[in-house]
Amino acid sequence: MRFIVALVLSAAALSVAACNTVEGMGKDVRSAGDAVAKTADGAKPK
């Protein structure tokens, strides 16, 4: 259990470090949201 918690915390720290700023993190989140929305639009029945 401790290993999983350490792994999750490490992944979170690396992802935050990659952003450098709150603005950068916001752009990353928006980009991910746009990708999900685009995929969902492509999966809609026609």
> For 1-46, what is each residue's pLDDT tens digit?
888 888 888 888 877 666 667 777 788 889 889 998 888 888 877 7
Say what the pTM is.
Answer: 0.48
Q: In this structure, are residues 19 and 25 in contact, taking their beta carbons and an 8 Å threshold?
A: yes
pLDDT of residue 8: 87
Percentages (nearest 5) of helix, strand, coil residues in the chain: 85, 0, 15
